[in-house]
């Protein structure tokens, strides 16, 4: 409620208004592009084919692309190649020392890594676009997808590769612009928009298919399940493990500075440090075998068949991937050695723990323990709703993965908006003139 009350002063911050309007404008550009069709294909024929593939991987991919796949849009690849490139680069940082050194170079190293991620995104986009072109040609020659491609051949493949790669590059640029000049993480917001815009359509499809037999009890169970899932996500995303820390008393001039024992500061550790990244990474990897199968890579078609089946094998593999990425992303992004070093510089320590190496080991151990709970929570939220929906025979088009991404991104966006409001109110204490000067300077630098 406090957050909602704070958002009521939204109109008082001109900079925040500009950021929110810029974000909405970029999302509008993205949604318009979803309906721009790739040359040489029949969008209506593709829609009919996707409608027949209920519950398959192609519907999962279509959901993350915001309907761009069924429209055969220039954004049909979505932002997944960028995420796949990020995964590959982060994995390489664990085994390739130069990349690890770049991560430790600060802002300059981060920019170089971002540039390598962009290059990787273009390469993966070309590869996946070629796979989609081959898939469309294969569908067009079959009875279920006849007429999708007007003129198959090398010309169509090259045009599709150029068009889809350009679309992904443009989406990557939109995401980076939102991150820099808007609110929240741009890549996450693009996926958020893709999922949310498909909700009304899926609800209408379910009502149309079950017009004579809506089964109120089952629908009530689905609604209750979604509410419980959202409540669990909101609880765990805000959960923290508080480690108490104490500051050494120090004398500056005639004053002695210390910390009152009644107000002991804490080092907060999030239970789910990785956020919505693990399900996004896992989903991206599950979509990759389909591309390999389309270009006839040995063994890829068998793997795609297992993924398409959606049974316990798929759910188990999906859950294990989520758990792996929870630990992987947490260990990559959160560095206990750096935290321990900062505490030492501030003359702070954890009671009973020596500063330096022992503090880093203690923080690492605590982080690993709470990540176990966080990983199990993420895996349960992403897998259980779909399993329960199958058991009660109600197709849940938006499983736990989608709900978690939507709720997680929404919470992050609200927190960032609230941070901007707090900053605006803090600067307002220095006076109107200073606030204006600082606002302009910050805008130019950003």
- pLDDT tens digits, one per residue of 224-270: 878 888 888 889 888 899 988 887 765 555 665 555 555 678 888 99
On the question of pLDDT at 430 being above 50, the answer is no
What share of the chain in percent tops pLDDT 90?
Answer: 18
pTM (two decimals): 0.76
CB under 8 A, 24+ apart: contacts of 235-240: 236/271, 236/272, 236/374, 236/377, 237/272, 237/275, 237/407, 237/408, 237/411, 238/411, 239/270, 239/271, 239/272, 240/268, 240/269, 240/270, 240/271
- CA 24 to CA 19: how far, in whole Å? 9
| Helices 80-95, 154-181: crossing angle, 10 deg rounding | 80
- CA 350 to CA 339: how far, in whole Å? 12
On the question of pLDDT at 184 being above 90, the answer is no
Q: Which of residues 271 and 100 earns the better pLDDT score?
A: 271
pLDDT given at position 259 = 52
Q: CA torsion 94→100→103→104, rounded to 10°?
A: 130
pLDDT given at position 431 = 47
DSSP state of 308: H
- Which whole number is the average pLDDT over 73-102? 84
Q: Which of residues 37 and 427 earns the better pLDDT score?
A: 37
* Most confident option among 198-207, 217-226, 345-354, 370-379: 370-379
Cα 419 to Cα 158, 166, 183, 412, distances in angstroms? 46, 35, 10, 10
pLDDT given at position 393 = 61
Domains of the chain: 9-197 (1.10.3370.10), 217-398 (1.10.3370.10)
Burial of residue 11 (number of CB atoms within 10 Å: 0-12, 13-18, 19+): exposed
On the question of pLDDT at 437 being above 60, the answer is no
- Which whole number is the average pLDDT over 106-124? 89
| Helices 300-309, 277-294: crossing angle, 10 deg rounding | 130
pLDDT given at position 134 = 87
Q: Which of residues 301 and 113 earns the better pLDDT score?
A: 113
Q: Which of residues 105 and 436 earns the better pLDDT score?
A: 105
How many CB atoms neighbour CB 24 within 10 A? 13
């Amino acid at each position: 409620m406090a957050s909602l009350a704070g958002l009521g002063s939204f109109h008082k911050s001109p900079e925040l208004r500009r950021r929110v309007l810029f974000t909405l404008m970029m999302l509008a550009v993205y949604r318009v592009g979803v309906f721009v069709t790739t040359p040489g294909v029949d969008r209506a024929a593709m829609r009919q084919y996707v409608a027949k593939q209920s519950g398959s991987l192609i519907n999962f991919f279509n959901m993350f692309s915001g309907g761009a796949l069924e429209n055969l849009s220039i954004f049909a690849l979505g932002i997944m190649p960028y995420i796949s490139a990020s995964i590959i680069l982060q994995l390489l940082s664990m085994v390739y020392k130069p990349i690890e050194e770049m991560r430790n170079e600060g802002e300059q190293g981060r920019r170089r890594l971002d540039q390598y991620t962009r290059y990787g995104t273009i390469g993966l986009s070309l590869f996946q676009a070629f796979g989609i072109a081959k898939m469309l040609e294969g569908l067009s020659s079959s009875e279920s997808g006849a007429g999708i491609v007007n003129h198959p051949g090398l010309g169509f493949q090259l045009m599709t590769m150029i068009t889809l790669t350009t679309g992904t590059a443009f989406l990557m640029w939109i995401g980076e612009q939102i991150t820099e000049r808007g609110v929240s993480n741009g890549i996450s917001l693009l996926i958020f928009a893709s999922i949310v815009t498909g909700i009304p359509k899926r609800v209408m499809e379910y009502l149309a298919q079950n017009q004579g037999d809506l089964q109120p009890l089952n629908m009530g169970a689905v609604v209750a399940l979604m509410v419980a899932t959202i409540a669990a996500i909101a609880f765990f995303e805000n959960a923290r493990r508080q480690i108490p820390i104490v500051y050494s008393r120090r004398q500056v001039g005639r004053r002695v500075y210390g910390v009152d024992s009644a107000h002991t500061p804490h080092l907060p550790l999030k239970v789910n440090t990785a956020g919505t990244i693990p399900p996004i990474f896992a989903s991206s990897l599950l979509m990759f075998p389909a591309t390999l199968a389309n270009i006839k890579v040995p063994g890829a078609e068998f793997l795609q068949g297992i993924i398409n089946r959606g049974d316990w094998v798929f759910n188990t593999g999906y859950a294990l991937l989520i758990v792996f990425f929870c630990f992987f992303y947490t260990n990559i992004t959160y560095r206990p050695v750096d935290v321990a070093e900062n505490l030492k510089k501030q003359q702070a320590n954890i009671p009973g723990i020596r500063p330096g190496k022992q503090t880093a080991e203690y923080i690492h151990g605590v982080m690993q323990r709470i990540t176990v709970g966080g990983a199990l929570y993420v895996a349960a939220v992403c897998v259980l709703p779909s399993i329960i929906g199958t058991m009660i025979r109600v197709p849940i088009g938006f499983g736990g993965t989608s709900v978690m991404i939507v709720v997680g991104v929404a919470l992050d966006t609200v927190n960032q908006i609230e941070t901007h409001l707090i900053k605006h109110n803090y600067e307002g204490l220095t006076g109107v003139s200073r606030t204006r000067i600082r606002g302009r300077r910050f805008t130019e630098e950003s």
